[in-house]
Amino acid sequence: MRLIIFVAGVVFLSGAMAQVLPEEISVETMPEHGPNWFIAKSGSGARIFDAENGEMLGLLSLSNRTPAVAPYLPRGEFYAAESYYSRAVHGDRTDIVAIYDYANLNPVAEIGIPNHMARLGVRNHLGLLGNGRHLAVLNMNPGYSVSIVDVVDREFIYEMSTPGCAIILPVAENDFLLICGDGTLQLSQLDISGFEENRVRSEVFFNVRDDAVFDRTARTGDGWLLITHAGVVHEVSTDDDEIHISEGWSIVGEDEYGWRPGGGEFLDVHRELGLLFVAMHEGPVDTHHDPGEEIWVIDLANRRRVHRLEVEELADHVTVTQETAPKLIVATGEGGTEVYDALTFRHERSIRMPGVSMYEDF
């Protein structure tokens, strides 16, 4: 009797399985770039999100020793400086610039660079210059230098020494600024082949001991915005080989002593609207790594605060998309990503995404 039941069961299962259609394997490609997309980088890669609906669109699988990712939509590519060990955490070290295709997010080329790039998760340790051709990668060995890579011809150009100066701020077509430890800026200007042809130093404009500028910066419409630990803003730009630095002005009112900027990548600027978004907290000196209790919104043209956004979870990373209807993207220390309307400040959605080290608009 048991044998008859067993045989009947086998026949039934065989018939049922015959009705199951085999799964067809397909390959998805990235859709056309849409408004309010952003990149969230974490230790396991860089995820591409649509802030309009909170959906993840794709994943770039990167080394966990990648400082930043630079997208370049006109050529449909992403550029990332990556570092690897032959045995995961030890062995021979290999540093590269990896090039990823936009359509399928696969690596399509890699370029060897000197094996001492700065591997901290800092947005401005990597900079694609205005011509879309030359990529600058910051090195620490332990002195500072910059590797120049031609991402069009897929070749390493050379390594230029930049003693005491770091943080890559691209300006003009083929130039970049660096912040120096003596309170100045350095302008490096490259020729069409990517070699440095001119170097200019600014006057001292901040005191490293009394109130240093952060190594976190924000791009403006014609240059960059730097902010000190006490909240003093300097706007910088260039005109050929001249460096222009505005007089410092504070975003902290006289009756707001103790409020300070801080966190990870804690500030960003909507360039067309001229609005600065910066995470702020109350605390003593040397709390510059503490995340923000509020996000202050500053009108740069009038140098005045227009809003204080209180956040439920402390804000560690802040970015704003560059659309006409922009989104404010905020990473919290609790592994969440909060999306706000950047003009009405209405909270729109939460995305659970632990381990984010920075955001990038593109």
pLDDT reading at 12 higher than 50: no
Residue 319: band (very low, low, confident or very high) from pLDDT cuts 50, 70, 90: very high
Average pLDDT over residues 139-167: 97
Q: What is the pLDDT of residues 276-304, one digit of tens each?
A: 999 999 999 999 999 999 999 999 999 99
pLDDT reading at 357 higher than 70: no
The pairs formed by 95-102 with CB atoms below 8 angstroms and a separation of 24 or more are: 97/135, 97/137, 97/149, 97/151, 97/156, 98/62, 99/151, 99/154, 100/60, 101/76, 101/77, 102/30, 102/71, 102/73, 102/76, 102/77, 102/78
Q: What is the pLDDT of residues 97-130, one digit of tens each?
A: 999 999 999 999 999 999 999 988 899 999 999 9
Q: What pLDDT shows up at residue 23?
A: 78
Closest-CA residue to 353 (of 217, 339, 345): 339
CATH pick for 258-362 out of 2.40.50.140, 1.10.287.110, 3.40.50.2300, 2.120.10.30: 2.120.10.30
pLDDT reading at 83 higher than 70: yes
Dihedral (Cα; 142, 143, 149, 155), 10-degree rounding: -60
pTM of the model: 0.90
Residue 149: band (very low, low, confident or very high) from pLDDT cuts 50, 70, 90: very high
- HEC string of the chain equals CHHHHHHHHHHHHHHHHHCCCCCCCCCCCCCCCCCCEEEEEECCEEEEEECCCCCEEEEECCCCCCCCEEEEHHHCEEEEEEEEECCCCCCCEEEEEEEEECCCCCEEEEEEECCCECCCCCHHHEEECCCCCEEEEEEECCCEEEEEEECCCCEEEEEEECCCEEEEEEECCCEEEEEECCCCEEEEEECCCCCEEEEEECCCCCCHHHHCECCCCEECCCCEEEEECCCEEEEEEEECCEEEECCCEECCCCCCCCEEECCCCCEEEECCCCEEEEEEEECCCCCCCCCEEEEEEEECCCCEEEEEEEEEEEEEEEEECCCCCCEEEEEECCCEEEEEECCCCCEEEEEECCCEEEEEEC
Q: What pLDDT shows up at residue 18?
A: 55
Reading the block at residue 114, the tokens are: 């000197």
Closest-CA residue to 216 (of 262, 273, 282): 262
pLDDT reading at 261 higher than 70: yes
Cis peptide before 142, with omega less than 30 degrees from 0?
A: yes
Average pLDDT over residues 74-86: 96
Domain extents for the chain?
Answer: 258-362
Q: What pLDDT shows up at residue 359?
A: 67
Burial class of residue 352, CB neighbours in 10 A (0-12, 13-18, 19+): exposed
pLDDT reading at 3 higher than 50: no
Strands 175-180 and 165-171: antiparallel
Q: What pLDDT shows up at residue 202?
A: 98
pLDDT reading at 9 higher than 60: no
Average pLDDT over residues 176-200: 98
Q: What pLDDT shows up at residue 178?
A: 98
Comparing 14-18, 139-143, 156-160, 190-194, the range with the smallest average pLDDT is: 14-18
Q: What pLDDT shows up at residue 42?
A: 82
